[in-house]
Amino acid sequence: MTHSPSLWISAAQSLNQSLAITDTQGTIQQVNPTWAKKAAQLGLSPLWDRPGLNLIEFLKNPDNRDLCPNAPMFLSQLNNILQGDCSFYSKEFHIHLSLSQETIWFQLEVIPLMEENCIGGVVLSCIDMTRYKRYELQLVEIISQIRTLRGLLPICAVCKRIKDEDNHWDDIENFLIRNTHAEFTHDICPDCIRVLYPKYSSILDLPANED
């Protein structure tokens, strides 16, 4: 079944991801409502929320590097796509909002717009991935705080001290504190109570529900 062009346009307008279309000169010709809404939310209006912006000229301007730090790379890839030397470009980038001190992350994808087997411009698609990026950064932080001990640990059969990588013998407690994020609180096990404090050890024989 063949769908009319208007149906495809309606579908693009309804997407929850930002879409923009440029001509062969890099000038934005169309944006969908999500693109316009997101640009307005980020304080990028009126430059980015409507047709008319020339991406090539924008990326060439060094004054715009704060908004687009990877401008030289993006400009190169955009030209490659417009010239037919590249069929796809994908880049993760972020925008730091000075007012709210918030960082918003996006996944940008750029593909050529084909019209009768000729490149008629490019299609830019931006997906807000801030929520997922925050999860990723939190996970990286958690992983960075986890240290594990692997392999064989030389331990003295008598005093139970451990030999570290510098051939120094150290107490187990000090060794674990230095090589892991473990913290210690001290107690006495039942066997040691019986040996060291025999007159108090009878309490160990009381039923668990008795004081």
Q: What does each of the 211 residues of the chain score in pLDDT, given as a tens digit?
A: 555 678 888 998 999 999 999 999 999 999 999 999 999 988 888 889 999 999 999 999 988 877 777 888 999 999 999 999 999 999 998 888 777 788 899 999 999 999 888 999 999 999 999 999 999 988 888 777 666 667 778 888 888 888 887 888 988 888 888 777 777 787 888 888 888 888 777 777 766 655 4
What is the rounded CA–CA span in Å between residue 38 and residue 184? 50
**Rounded CA separation 121/82 (Å):** 6
| Number of other residues whose CB lies within 10 A of the CB of residue 40 | 14
User: In whole angstroms, what is the distance from residue 66 CA to residue 169 CA?
Assistant: 53
Whole-model pTM: value is 0.66
Contacts of 19 (CB under 8 A, 6+ apart): 12, 31, 32, 34, 35, 123, 124, 125, 126
**Structure tokens of 24?**
């062969």
Q: Based on C-alpha coordinates, what's the Rg of the chain?
A: 31
Beta bridge partners of 92: 107
Which phi and psi angles does 72 have, rounded to 5°?
-60, -45
